[in-house]
Amino acid sequence: MKHILSVVFVAASVLTACTHEFIPNPNAPTMEEIIKNPSISQLNNLVTGSEGGLRAQLGLYHDLVGVFGREFWRYSNSDSRNTEDLLGKGNITLDPNSYYAINSWLARYSVVKNCNLLMEATKNCTLLENEAQKNGYYAFAKTIAAYQLLLNLNHTDDQGIRTDVNDPKDLGPIVNKTQALTDIAKLLDDADVLLNNATIIFPLSDGFEGFNSVAGFKKFNRALSARVSIYREQWTKALTDLNGSFLDLSAGSNLNTGVYHVFSSSSGDLLNELYLAPDGQSDIRAAHPTFEADLEAGDDRINKTHVRAAAATFDGLTSTRDVALYATPTTPVAIIRNEELILIYAEAKLQNNALAEAADALNTIRSKHNLTPRLDLDTKAKLIDELLKQRRYSLFGEGHRWVDMRRYNRLATLPIDRAGDDVWPRVPLPAGE
């Protein structure tokens, strides 16, 4: 961790719609020099590097939560650990020295490091015209850092994470889950306050279309805060957060409105790692058979999978469907979107015993996916079951199922596909921690 956090991570990839130059390397000013007296262009490069870094190891992050949550299996001829370690085959346990414990963890903290550098550089920049411009950079950095810390906590859960990593030579301790969520929520809330007096003068990618103004970014920030609030079981705060977000409950709402990671085939940019060509033979995300088996007739979310020309079998696991969330290698990947916000609203309402409003929200989701409304959602228990079902299908493959089942103490209900397999509750902390 200390080694990684002492290395500046400035993404050398080109994000769509960003045309500014990058911080030059060999023989150019060092990062220490840049931070002491940055130009606005250099500040913007740190913004772009931070946003670009969000995509690093994104495929691995989603593979882990997707496989652990039995949303899909990951077949790979080049790495048997995907169907051995990740599924707890036989007597195998998760290895804290392995790629799945280390790579995503370090990628997320690299972005956090970039955000910390951005805040330090912003503090020292003499070219910014006013406090509002500085606040824009600070709010961006705090929001993105909070998001990255949350993803690492999703993996490690009750083992906790480090939230104080400002000084690579003197890292803060690993704090428990409750404290980590508190620290993440504070970052988001601090950024929200800063946005009350902020100007955004830096460019963001097309993934922030509609959210690249102060008002739009504030809505994105509150959406992330709502997600954190339900993890903290702070149901009233979640509803307050949603009031400031881009939640749209109307019948004509677009479920896909939100903020996205974007990709391109331009030289130096990244392609979407979550895209795999259909009917692959050696590299497959195979939908778990229960995805189709448990789906109600007529539900259009079946189209999140693709019927294979021939069933795929690997390591004793057979599936007839591929995951088909992304049509091309440049299809964007959601960070957070309106469909999740509607489901957060439903969860917060039911947990606050506003059962009719929760039922209405869940029936809105059902109706949008060609299902008839349920008229029997009249108890909290029924609503929780329906909530988890709708989150399963609406957010399929987006990194939520495993976390949700863990939040509701239902990991034991996930399927065991081979005798001796395990459903893991967490990713181990990297051995170096």
304 and 360 part of one domain: no
Please give the Cα distance from 190 to 174 (Å, whole number): 22
pLDDT at 15: 52
Neighbouring CB atoms inside 10 A of 414's CB total 18
Domain that holds residue 366: 234-270+336-408
Asked whether residue 209 is assigned to any structural domain, the reply reads no
161 and 293 part of one domain: no
Asked whether residue 420 is assigned to any structural domain, the reply reads no
Domain final residue pick, 184, 204, 224: 204
Asked whether residue 211 is assigned to any structural domain, the reply reads no
165 and 432 Cβ atoms separated by less than 8 Å: no
pLDDT at 23: 41
107 and 13 part of one domain: yes
Candidates 291, 189, 233; CA nearest to 408 is 233
pTM (2 d.p.):
0.94
Asked whether residue 392 is assigned to any structural domain, the reply reads yes
Asked whether residue 229 is assigned to any structural domain, the reply reads no
Please give the Cα distance from 92 to 421 (Å, whole number): 9
Asked whether residue 86 is assigned to any structural domain, the reply reads yes
Please give the Cα distance from 9 to 165 (Å, whole number): 14
181 and 98 part of one domain: yes
344 and 317 part of one domain: no
pLDDT at 17: 40
Q: How would you class 175 by CB atoms within 10 Å of its CB: exposed for 0-12, middle for 13-18, buried for 19 or more?
A: middle
73 and 176 part of one domain: yes
294 and 400 part of one domain: no
345 and 370 part of one domain: yes
Mean pLDDT by 10 residues, the chain (433 residues): 45 42 49 86 96 97 98 95 97 97 98 97 95 98 98 98 94 97 98 98 97 98 98 98 98 96 95 96 96 98 98 97 98 98 98 98 98 97 98 98 98 97 98 93
409: left (phi over 0), alpha (psi -120 to 50) or beta: left
Asked whether residue 217 is assigned to any structural domain, the reply reads no
Determine phi and psi for 349, rounding to 5 degrees. -65, -45
Q: How would you class 297 by CB atoms within 10 Å of its CB: exposed for 0-12, middle for 13-18, buried for 19 or more?
A: exposed
Number of domains in the chain: 3
386 and 308 part of one domain: no
341 and 307 part of one domain: no
Asked whether residue 345 is assigned to any structural domain, the reply reads yes
283 and 289 Cβ atoms separated by less than 8 Å: no
pLDDT at 29: 66
122 and 77 part of one domain: yes
Query: What DSSP element (H or E) covers 311?
Result: strand 305-314
137 and 69 part of one domain: yes
3-state helix, strand, coil in the chain (%, to 5): 50, 10, 45
Q: What is the separation of C-alpha 365 from the centre of its chain, rounded to a whole number of angstroms?
A: 21
291: left (phi over 0), alpha (psi -120 to 50) or beta: alpha
Please give the Cα distance from 322 to 306 (Å, whole number): 5
CATH no. for residue 255?
1.25.40.390
